[in-house]
Amino acid sequence: MAKYSKLDSTFAALADPTRRAIMEYLMDGKKSVSDIAKPFDFALPTISRHISVLEKADLVTREIEGRTHYLSLNANQLKTAVEYLEQYRDFWSDTFRRLDDFLRRDDET
């Protein structure tokens, strides 16, 4: 379970649509905080709070060049979340396969 210790902060960060939109925007590469804020109808402090949540979850990294702060997506943390969810995909795939087998046997009788 230790390898999943950051999952709570990851899923909490991903639960918000604004933070998911920020992450999607960062898929194209690093962006300045002011560029990230432009498409949103929020004050810069609000965007900064969203960014802070993403940073605490290690979903974005910050780089400072002079007075400009740039953010980049950190997909490594998402990999851990995907690995966690994969367990459940395997579970549900197996469950549906068994249900399908059961229904096919029932149809044959």
Q: Which of 75, 71, 78, 35 is nearest to 51 (CA)?
A: 71
Output the CATH code of domain 2-81: 1.10.10.10
Coil, helix or strand for 72? strand
Q: What distance, in Å, lies between the first and last C-alpha atoms of the chain?
A: 45
Domain residue ranges of the chain, discontinuous segments joined by +: 2-81
pTM: 0.78
Are 68 and 32 in contact by the 8 Å Cβ rule? The answer is yes
CB-CB neighbours of 30 under 10 Å: 15
- Tens of pLDDT along 44-99? 899 999 999 999 999 999 999 999 999 999 988 888 888 888 888 888 888 888 88
